[in-house]
Amino acid sequence: MNFIIKNRLTILYGISLALLLFLLRWLELKFIIFEHSLEIYLGAIAIIFTSLGIWLALNLTKPKIKTLIIEKEIYINHETGFILNEPELARLGISKRELEVLQLMSEGLSNQEIAGQLFVSLNTIKTHSSRVFEKMDVKRRTQAIEKAKKLSIIP
Amino acid sequence: MNFIIKNRLTILYGISLALLLFLLRWLELKFIIFEHSLEIYLGAIAIIFTSLGIWLALNLTKPKIKTLIIEKEIYINHETGFILNEPELARLGISKRELEVLQLMSEGLSNQEIAGQLFVSLNTIKTHSSRVFEKMDVKRRTQAIEKAKKLSIIP
DNA sequence: ATAAAAATCACCCTAAAGTATGAAAGGTAA
DNA sequence: TTACCTTTCATACTTTAGGGTGATTTTTAT
């Protein structure tokens, strides 16, 4: 069964050829018996074999494929994946809350804005930031941000 | 001339067909004069027209176009290679000196330190920074640094 | 040559940032 | 329980940052 399925195209071609030969024989008989003109017979043969040729060419040759390669550029920003450098964080002794304050600082928020966001007083934020600067051994928030980014403590 | 070049394929086909008809006529004459067998004549016609059919099919069919879109991923490396976003810089209207001040700001320097580094007065740096904030539409230096980094104006 | 833009500086004032010190509440580990 | 850390908040003070205004010099472009 598998053999038949695999070679079904070849078998079909064989059957078609056989039928074609029968057709030709029938045309020849008609030509001989009824004494029709030679031209009609020749014309029929020409048409049939031209068709055969076209059919053979279309079905037995592999289709011509013109491959058009279009390169589409996709820009990927792989800065999204941020991995917190926890050992460094532990080494500096920065607490969770302090890190939070540091993060909001790096986003450009003022102490007052950070206080509002974390629902604490301005003084609390000042204390936190002072401790962070002390622990990180920096003098200003801008320095803290710079250093923290270099150390992968903040994104 | 242009007409000939454009339709050269059609003209070629016409000439080929004419030659083919001549060949057939010649074969017919040979068949009648020398009383050769009908089978050879028919065979020749069959072969010629099969070939014609194959040739026609191969040359007149349009190739199938297969479009392959290859997506090429391009990673932007923010860490190593920094490319200054000059169009954005021009759009914001930030001058060379202002950019310098902005850069030193991002490194965590105070206005006084920037003034010392650039050999100008503190007031000059204040003017520059104020202009930068105005042009960048921010309120604080930390915001300016954040935005500038996002816009690839500073590394 | 002249106008526009950039860079420089000064003065005054307010807002924000940062320092110092003290203190109280809550959680955690020895 | 004690000692320690974290988080919270306050007050007082100093320093830095930032806004507004005006002015001069230098550079650049038309």
**Would the Cβ of A139 be found within 7 angstroms of any atom in strand C?**
yes
Q: What is the pLDDT of residues A122-154, one digit of tens each?
A: 999 999 999 999 999 999 999 999 999 999 889
Contact call for B65 and A66, based on CB within 8 A: yes
Question: How far apart are the C-alpha atoms of B95 and B92, rounded to whole Å?
Answer: 9
CA distance A27 to A15: 18
Which residues in chain B are contacts of A56 at CB distance < 8 A?
A: 50, 53-54, 57
Q: Is the CB of A105 under 7 A from strand D?
A: no
Query: Quick check: A118 CB within 7 A of strand D?
Result: yes
Which string of DSSP letters, residue by residue, matches chain A?
-HHHHHTHHHHHHHHHHHHHHHHHHHHHHHHHHH---HHHHHHHHHHHHHHHHHHHHHHHSPPPEEEEEEEEEEEE-TTS-----HHHHHHHT--HHHHHHHHHHHTT--HHHHHHHHTS-HHHHHHHHHHHHHHHT-SSHHHHHHHHHHTTS--
Taking the CA atoms of A125, A130, A135 and A137 in sequence, report the sign of the dihedral they define: positive
Q: Residue A54 above 80 pLDDT?
A: no
Closest listed residue to residue A130, CA positions, set A144, A147, A109, A116 = A144
Mean pLDDT over B96-112 rounds to: 93
User: What pLDDT band is residue B70 in, cutting at 50, 70 and 90?
Assistant: low
pLDDT in tens, B16-43: 777 777 777 776 666 555 555 666 677 7
Residue B140 and residue A110: Cβ atoms within 8 Å?
Answer: yes
Q: Which bases of chain C are contacted by protein, using any atom under 7 A from a CB?
A: 5-12, 16-23
* Residue B96: CB less than 7 A from any atom in strand C: yes
Quote the pTM value.
Answer: 0.59
Nucleotide nearest to B94 (CA to C1'): C6
Q: Which of A46, A70, A147 sits opposite B67 (nearest CB)?
A: A70
Taking the C-alpha atoms of residue A13 and residue B34, their distance in angstroms, rounded to an integer, is: 36
